[in-house]
């Protein structure tokens, strides 16, 4: 692996850290500004919607202007956005910070483009696997940093995130060489976001059904990701430190299962068997979590959930890749990312609409809904398995 790759791998780790530091604090930080649960859910939605629309534009500009300039712009946006959010005095500034972070949040796709520019095809799978490991590591270390920052304040988590992104920005400016050998001279239509591809993608042979399944699973998972936070705080009467430790547990279990457990299972069982069992356990876990309002019980169910949940997304991505033609890999995986961005924007809004702050029982409704809908997706995935089985 060359110098550019290892710099990009480090930048990917830094980017993941700056994101995972915020996950346990966004909801609670929004509550400090007097936001109700639905309004707090929009802090997640505005980020993912902005990212959805901005990522194709940043990708096109990186083909025209170069990878390094767009990576600098993207990281600088994250720095400014999170420093603004961390020092915000009004909810409007907080929302603007989330929007700015999303609209400049195309650094992952640009980093992947650097790898494609500099790594030969024969080594590319290994390169992306290493970058994937940095994402997994970020989901363990990020909540730990967040826990330390929260000792100062919830806003300090945003400041810590911005400072970490600043480190990535400095590394990019000082050490990352431009990887694009020949810049595109074709006119760029920045208003063409590829929405037509999103519509036709669902009808693509073999992978269209996988796009549908993953979009629905992404929506149910984002319902859960938002809903567990107010449930954990208001129903189980826990604090932000406990919530951060819960996310830390999810990260540690996920990394362990991805690096160790999956290798054992795949040698004994078929890929689709692991996939269906993982979906079943995800569905049951969502519906079991609110059955008993006890934090120890909730943590045990959460532990069981995280054991197999970590397999779902990698398996879906693998199935999409295996069912795609070699010359269509980039388009297929890009479409999949776009569908997940939309799903991540929709889920929190659904959860926020179901919650009534005057009725504690309503905090369980999104969890039940996520479990029920996940089971329906499992049925869909099982009944259509012949369309994508490899």
In Å, how far are 231, 235, 356, 362 from 359, measured between CA atoms? Answer: 12, 10, 5, 6
| Contact (Cβ atoms closer than 8 angstroms) between residue 374 and residue 217 | yes
Residues 9, 181 contacting (CB under 8 angstroms) = no
Span of 130-139, 207-216, 222-231, 246-255 with lowest mean pLDDT: 130-139
Residues 261-287 pLDDT 10s: 877 888 899 989 999 999 999 999 999
Angle between helix axes 3-20 and 67-86 (nearest 10 degrees) is: 20
| 197 has pLDDT over 80 | no
- Is 291 strand, coil or helix? coil
**Amino acid 298: pLDDT:** 97
Report d(CA 204, CA 214) in Å as an integer.
14
How far apart, in Å, are the Cα atoms of 20 and each of 14, 68, 164?
A: 10, 24, 11
Over residues 360-378, mean pLDDT: 97
DSSP 236: S
Domain boundaries, the chain: 1-177, 194-390
Q: Kindly tell me if the per-residue pLDDT of 189 is higher than 60.
A: no
- In which band, very low, low, confident or very high, does the pLDDT at 163 lie, cut at 50, 70 and 90? very high
Model confidence, pTM: 0.87
* Residue 260 pLDDT exceeds 90: no
Confidence at 213, pLDDT banded by 50, 70, 90: very high
Judged by DSSP in three states, 2 sits in: coil
CA distances from 114 to 59, 72, 118 (A): 11, 13, 6
| Nearest Cα to Cα of residue 74 among 84, 62, 86 | 62
Asked whether the domain spanning 194-390 has the same topology as the one spanning 1-177, the reply is yes
Higher pLDDT, 54 or 297: 297
Instruction: Give all strands (DSSP E) within 106-241, no chain letters.
Output: none
Mean pLDDT within 118-125: 73
Give the pLDDT score at 184. 56
* Mean pLDDT within 104-129: 73
Distance in angstroms (rounded) separating the CA atoms of residues 379 and 23:
30
Separation between Cα atoms, residue 58 and residue 72, nearest integer Å: 11
- Chain centroid, CA 70 distance in Å: 21
Residue predicted with more confidence, 19 or 98 = 98
Task: Please state, in angstroms and rounded to a whole number, the distance separating the CA atoms of residues 51 and 181.
Answer: 27
Write down the CATH number for the domain with range 194-390.
1.20.1250.20
The arithmetic mean of pLDDT across residues 319-327, rounded, is 77
Q: Please provide residue 264's backbone torsions phi and psi, each rounded to the nearest 5 degrees.
A: -70, -45
* Per-residue confidence (pLDDT) for residue 41, from 0 to 100: 96
Residue 88's pLDDT is what? 97
pLDDT tens digit sequence for 43-97: 999 999 998 888 777 777 887 888 899 899 999 999 999 999 999 999 999 999 9
Taking the C-alpha atoms of residue 45 and residue 217, their distance in angstroms, rounded to an integer, is: 17
**DSSP strand E in 151-286: where?**
none
CATH architecture classification, 1-177:
Up-down Bundle (1.20)
Let me know the angle formed at the C-alpha of 189 by 49 and 197, rounded to the nearest 5 degrees. 55
Cα 109 from Cα 105, distance rounded (Å): 9
Q: How far is CA 329 from CA 38, 79, 111, 214, in A?
A: 37, 32, 17, 16
Which among 62, 60, 71, 69 has a CA at the least distance from the CA of 187?
A: 60
């Amino acid at each position: 692996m060359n110098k550019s790759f290892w710099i990009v791998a480090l930048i990917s780790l830094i980017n993941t850290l700056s994101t995972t530091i915020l996950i346990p604090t966004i909801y609670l930080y929004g509550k400090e500004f007097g936001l109700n649960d639905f309004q707090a859910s929009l802090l997640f939605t505005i980020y993912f919607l902005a990212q959805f629309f901005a990522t194709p534009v940043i990708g096109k500009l990186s083909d025209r202007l170069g990878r390094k300039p767009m990576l600098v712009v993207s990281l600088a946006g994250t720095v400014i956005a999170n420093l603004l959010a961390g020092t915000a005095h009004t909810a409007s500034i907080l929302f603007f910070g989330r929007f700015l972070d999303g609209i400049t949040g195309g650094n992952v796709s640009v980093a992947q483009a650097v790898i494609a520019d500099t790594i030969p095809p024969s080594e590319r799978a290994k390169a992306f696997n290493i970058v994937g490991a940095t994402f997994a590591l970020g989901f363990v270390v990020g909540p730990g940093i967040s826990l330390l920052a929260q000792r100062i304040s919830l806003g300090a988590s945003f400041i810590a995130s911005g400072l970490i992104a600043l480190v990535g920005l400095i590394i990019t400016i000082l050490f990352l060489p431009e990887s694009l050998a020949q810049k595109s001279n074709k006119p760029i239509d920045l208003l063409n976001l590829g929405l037509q591809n999103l519509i036709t993608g669902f009808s693509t042979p073999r992978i269209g059904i996988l796009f549908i399944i993953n979009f629905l699973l992404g929506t149910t998972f984002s319902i859960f990701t938002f809903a567990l936070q107010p449930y954990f705080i208001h129903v189980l009467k826990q604090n932000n430190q406990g919530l951060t430790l819960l996310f830390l547990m999810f990260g540690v279990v996920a990394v362990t299962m991805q690096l160790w457990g999956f290798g054992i299972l795949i040698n004994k069982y078929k890929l689709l068997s692991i996939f269906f069992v993982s979906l079943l356990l995800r569905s049951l876990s969502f519906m079991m979590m609110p059955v008993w309002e006890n934090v120890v019980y909730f943590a045990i169910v959460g532990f069981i959930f995280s054991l197999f949940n970590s397999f779902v997304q990698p398996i879906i991505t693998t199935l999409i890749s295996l069912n795609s033609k070699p010359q269509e890999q980039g388009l297929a995986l890009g479409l999949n990312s776009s569908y997940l961005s939309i799903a991540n924007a929709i889920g929190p809004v659904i959860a926020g609409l179901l919650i009534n702050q005057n009725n504690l029982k309503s905090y369980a409704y999104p969890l039940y809904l996520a479990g029920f809908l996940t089971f329906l997706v499992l049925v869909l995935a099982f009944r259509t398995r012949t369309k994508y089985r490899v």
